[in-house]
Each structure stands twice: as structure tokens, then as C-alpha cells.
Amino acid sequence: MPVSKELLEYQKVDGSLRKIEQEIASSEERKKYLQARKVMKTALDKLDALDRHAAELIRLREELSAKAEETSKKLEEYDEIDELLDEGADVAFYKKNAQGLLEHLRSVKAELTKLLSEIDAITAEYKKLMEQGKQANKVYKENKEKAEKIEGSHAGDMKEIKAKLAEIGKNIDPKILEYYNSKRKEGIFPVVVPLSDWMCVCGVELPLLHRSELAGGNMIECEHCRRLIYKQ
């Protein structure tokens, strides 16, 4: 790939756009509103998870309550134990059954108590997240508006620079421009760099094998940082 004055000019103009973008991105207002948005997103995700968990706990609570009620009704049958004994019923049999039902009821009630405690904990966490979301939403709205004003103050300059880039880009190989813009989106800048003492700006020395490829103003890709290197 040959380097061209148009590509170098494109990068120079693009540097002005990047400077404005960095200024906007580094503003405290933008940082605050982005952080608040993150908090809101996290809170919403957690609230959704709590909703699903709470629904499952409520279902289990209903099941346990039904089991407790059923066991209690079976125990009520033993209220008339004296009459059964008078009729010659087996005392050991009824005693064993009653004891088993009683233990089962205690176990179910213990599970139910534990479940209710967990539901209370979820309710408290839910309220906490709702409050966090409420506060974050307030910060988000306040700073988003301020950040948009800052961005708006640069809108004219950015539009002018982008128009200039579009004009310069007409004279650049589309494949090279596509590669440049892909690296730019990755946060790599500058994308096109001159070789210095056979080294890329990232500090990696160009292998002897590839040095001849730079003849005639050609560019090669750095094996480390993926920038485009050319020899001045």
C-alpha cells in the first residue's frame, strides 16, 4: 500500500476532529452522566433478577403454606383420639402417626420462616436499588443536558471538519480509507506513522525481512500495534 499526501492530510485534519472528541469525552458532565447511566442499567438488571427470584419465592411460599395447612388438618383428626382409644384403637400406631405429622409440620414451618426471611431481604434490596436508580436518574438528567450543550458548542466545527474529511477522502483508495477508519474506531491514533530508526512509534523494531517492503513510499502494517508505517 503506497502512502499518499492525501492520506497524511486526511489524518492531520482528522487529528483536529479527534481533539474535539477527546475534549467532549473528558468533560466532567459527560463522565457523570455516563456513570449514572451505567448505575441505572445495573440497577435495572438487578431489579429484573430480583423480580424473577421474588416470583419463585412467592410460589414456594404458597406451596409450603398449602403443605402446612394440609398437615395441620391431618393433625386435627387426632383431636378425637380419646374416642378412638375407647373403641380399642392401637395407641402406638396413632401416636407414631401423630408424631410424624407434627415433625413434618415443624419442618415445613421452619422452611416457611426461612423463606419469609429471604423475601424480606429481597424486599429491602429492591427498595435500595430503587433509591439508587432514582438518584442516578437525577444525576443522569442533570449532566446529560450539560454534556449535550458542550457537544452542541462544537457541532459547527465538527461538521466543518467532517465535510473536509469527506472531500479529502474522495482521493484516497477506499480500501486504505476503510482500514484507517477501522483503526480509528479502535482508538488507535495516529494510524499512519513514519518509521524512526527502523522502529514504529509503539517502540517495536521493524524486522529486517520487511524493511525492503517500504521502498517506493509503500506502507506496511506494524505487527504489534497494527498502525501503518511508512519511510520518510
Is the pLDDT reported for residue 89 higher than 60? no
Higher pLDDT, 28 or 215: 28
pLDDT band (50, 70, 90) for residue 83: low
124 or 86, which is more confident: 124
- pLDDT at residue 73 in the model: 73
CA angle at 147 for the pair 146 and 153, rounded to the nearest 5°: 90
Tens digits of residue pLDDT in 168-193: 999 999 999 999 999 999 999 999 99
For 7-18, write each residue's pLDDT tens digit: 999 999 999 999
The confidence score (pLDDT) of residue 69 equals 79
The pLDDT confidence band at residue 166, using thresholds 50, 70 and 90, is very high
Contact between residue 194 and residue 217 where contact means Cβ atoms under 8 Å apart: no
- What is the rounded average pLDDT of the residues 38-45? 86
Q: Show the domains of the chain with their CATH numbers.
A: 5-189 (1.10.287.1490)
| Nearest CA among 37, 27, 29 for reference residue 132 | 37
Q: Pull the grid cell for residue 202.
A: 509503539
Report the helix count and the strand count for the chain, using DSSP H and E. 7, 3
Q: What is the mean pLDDT of residues 220-228?
A: 91
Percent over 90 (pLDDT), the chain: 32
Residue 94: the pLDDT is 56
